[in-house]
Amino acid sequence: MEPAGLLGDLAIFTRVVMARSVSAAALQLGAAKSSVSSRIAALERLVGARLLIRSRHGVQPTPAGERLAAAGRNLIADAEALLTEIRAGEDQITGTLRVTCAVGVADILLVPMLASFLRQHPALSVDVVATDLILDPRREGIDVSFRFGWLRRPEQGFVARRIGTYEGALVASPAYLATAGGEPTTPAALAQHTWIGSPAFGGMRQPLTLWDASGRRHKTVMTCRIRTTAPTQQREWVLSGLGITRLPRFFIADDLAKGALVRVLSDHRFEGPSLFAVYAREHAHSARVRALLTHIQRIGAEEKMARAAESLEATR
């Protein structure tokens, strides 16, 4: 339970607004529902205005409640950052950082980053929610959401920071190509094949833009037989010989090396997926979030330098 006092009541109120439920907020806080309700009522008496509208679908903030919740989040973030610096010094990050990421692909990239971050900050804890669902960060109390794919724009009130972009590949199993009459040789021929898609590209009919070796752009539309949110499932479906799909190359490098998968239209390229860190604007003030983003940026810069060195060495 949050401590008593105005800041504690604000923290409880913002938790209720994020959860859209008094019961859910009480569960997250480890407090009785009646206690949370009484703290909210006390805050409404202090403010002199109604802050929440209750219905059978949960609770919604009033306009006054929305303003107070936004101000409360900023005050709490500033207070947490200040307390962290006072208690542990600027070089010591404490508390719990709650993050979410997709199962499978993002794990390969994210876990090493978090591991090195935790080694640098031994007083910090990380709570990871691994899911292929897109969670509401405020409702679930998420500090940073790591999203892998093709994010066009973040939700209102959120910031999306691109961590890195990765080469993608169109792939199929040799067994599928044998039964489908061979590898397609043009983007137009590709559209006649069975497609394993992702909701990141729309519904069951998904646009695909390719550039050939001369730089010419080709647009085609693929019709999904299978559509899944999980890249791990895309890999399993394509290994099972059920169609063609696009996946980050690092994710299927072993399958390509073993010949379990082969590249399709390998002389064409398309926009590869990226890993993004998405966080609410008010969390930009959090010392934990700032430290994590700085750490990831440093790793990204080191990786770019390493790739540049490898490219330079290859040309000698």
Give domain 95-166+274-314's CATH architecture: 3-Layer(aba) Sandwich (3.40)
State the chain's mean pLDDT as an integer: 83
- Domain residue spans of the chain: 6-88, 95-166+274-314, 168-263
Same CATH topology for 95-166+274-314 and 168-263: the answer is: yes
What backbone torsions phi and psi does residue 134 show, to the nearest 5 degrees? -85, 105
What backbone torsions phi and psi does residue 245 show, to the nearest 5 degrees? -145, 175
pLDDT at residue 60 greater than cutoff 80? yes
pLDDT above 70 coverage of the chain, percent = 87
Residues 6 or more apart whose Cβ sits within 8 Å of residue 270: 168, 170, 208, 209, 210, 211, 246
User: Taking a C-beta distance cutoff of 8 angstroms, is the pair 1, 35 a contact?
Assistant: yes
Could you read off the pLDDT of 193-220 as tens digits, one per residue?
999 998 877 789 999 999 988 889 999 9
- Range of weakest confidence among 93-97, 197-201, 303-307: 303-307
**Which amino acid makes up residue 198?**
S
CATH of domain 168-263: 3.40.190.290
**Which amino acid makes up residue 304?**
K
Residues 6 or more apart whose Cβ sits within 8 Å of residue 288: 84, 93, 95, 97, 124, 143
Confidence of residue 316 (pLDDT cuts 50, 70, 90): very low
Burial of 308 (0-12, 13-18, 19+ CB in 10 A): exposed
Could you read off the pLDDT of 216-255 as tens digits, one per residue?
999 999 999 999 888 889 999 999 999 999 998 888 999 9
Which CATH number fits the domain 6-88, given the four candidates 3.30.1540.10, 1.10.10.10, 1.10.3720.10, 3.40.50.720? 1.10.10.10
Residues 6 or more apart whose Cβ sits within 8 Å of residue 76: 7, 10, 11, 14
